[in-house]
């Protein structure tokens, strides 16, 4: 069972991301997006920070320098993804935004292939194609492209680069300090956006959502994702993370939303694509982490 812990970590991370989607959507009816992100990630830093400090102090000076350097850039990529998605949502519909954002599963193998100069396994490519079709069916997106859709496409590309970048260094740094440094960057870079947008109405629901997702999604799920990427190639990790909209659909059903046969079929196709990638030939596993000089990025 231990050999499946990385996959389980990624599925659990996607579960936290997905099931909290209705809660976040309701909270953003009250609070402004950047203010919500600032509060959410600030709470996450307060929760995870003490553990990160203890772990980081055990490492060498070289390890702490590597952690700081790669964590800062990963944090900038993460903020870029959130910011472009937020700007895109001003004009793009939520369903279209969800579909285009999910296209990071397509861009991730392109980025990874360009970096390592090799193509992903055929099983992964088939799984990605199926999962993309399933994502379209699940979200009910349309193909009208305007400024909002282009911003969201930039979001998908940034998230793909972030996933690959994390995978390159996740083998060499501890997940908890790595996640914490990224979250500190998110907090700092959300300050200008909050100043521009304002805070909105910090209702009890908005504060609860920020606190809950700060702990469950930012502290726990992001750390689980880094752990999973220590052992799993970025393309496969991105595909497994695409279970997020499936969990979001389940959470929406519990919240009172009813899915039609097309949406349910889309969820099934996503799971089929992931199954093919996981069980098909060429399943790529990353060796256990060692502190070696990373591939230049």
**Which residues contact residue 237 at a Cβ distance below 8 angstroms, ignoring those fewer than 6 apart?**
10, 108, 163, 167, 225, 228, 229
Average pLDDT over residues 238-264: 82
* Residue 289 pLDDT > 70: no
Count of domains observed in the chain? 1
Would you state the structure tokens that stand for residue 284, as one six-digit string? 């790529």
In terms of residue numbers, what domain contains 270? 2-279
284 in a structural domain: no
Flag whether 9 is in a domain. Answer: yes
Question: Residues 130, 273: contact at Cβ < 8 Å?
Answer: yes
Percent of the chain residues past pLDDT 70, beyond the cut: 93
- Return the bridge partners of 200, or none: 31
DSSP 245-274: HHHHHHHHHHTT----HHHHHHHHHHHHHH
pLDDT of residue 1: 59
Half-sphere exposure of 48 (CA within 13 A, CB side): 30
The residue among 283 and 51 whose pLDDT is bigger is 51
Domain-embedded: residue 295: no
**Lowest mean pLDDT, pick from 85-94, 193-202, 222-231:** 85-94
44 vs 49: CA distance, rounded Å: 8
pTM: 0.85
The answer to whether position 21 is within a domain reads yes
Give the mean pLDDT of 116-143. 85
Examine residue 287 and state whether it is found in any structural domain, yes or no: no
């Amino acid at each position: 069972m231990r050999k499946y812990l990385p996959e389980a970590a990624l599925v659990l991370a996607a579960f936290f991301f997905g099931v909290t989607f209705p809660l976040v959507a309701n909270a953003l009816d009250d609070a402004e997006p950047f203010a919500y992100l600032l509060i959410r990630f600030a709470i996450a830093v307060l929760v995870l920070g003490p553990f990160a400090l203890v772990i980081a102090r055990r490492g060498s000076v070289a390890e702490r320098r590597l952690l700081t350097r790669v964590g800062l850039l990963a944090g900038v990529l993460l903020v870029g993804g959130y910011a472009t998605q937020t700007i895109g949502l001003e004009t793009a519909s939520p369903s279209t935004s969800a579909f285009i954002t999910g296209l990071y599963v397509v861009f991730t193998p392109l980025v990874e292939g360009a970096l390592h100069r090799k193509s992903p396994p055929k099983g992964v490519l088939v799984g990605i194609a199926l999962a993309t079709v399933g994502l379209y069916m699940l979200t009910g997106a349309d193909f009208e492209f305007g400024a909002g859709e282009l911003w969201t496409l930039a979001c998908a590309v940034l998230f793909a680069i972030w996933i690959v970048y994390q995978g390159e260094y996740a083998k060499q740094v501890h997940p908890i300090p790595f996640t914490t440094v990224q979250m500190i960057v998110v907090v700092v870079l959300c300050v200008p956006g909050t100043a521009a947008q304002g805070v909105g109405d910090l209702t009890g629901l908005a504060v609860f959502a920020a606190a809950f997702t700060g702990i469950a999604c930012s502290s726990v799920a992001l750390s689980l994702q880094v752990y999973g990427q220590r052992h799993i190639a970025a393309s496969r990790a991105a595909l497994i993370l695409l279970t997020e909209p499936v969990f979001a659909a389940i959470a929406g059903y519990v919240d009172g939303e009813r899915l039609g046969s097309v949406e349910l079929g889309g969820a099934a196709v996503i799971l089929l694509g992931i199954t093919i990638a996981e069980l098909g030939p060429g399943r790529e596993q990353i060796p256990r982490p060692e502190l070696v000089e990373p591939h230049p990025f």
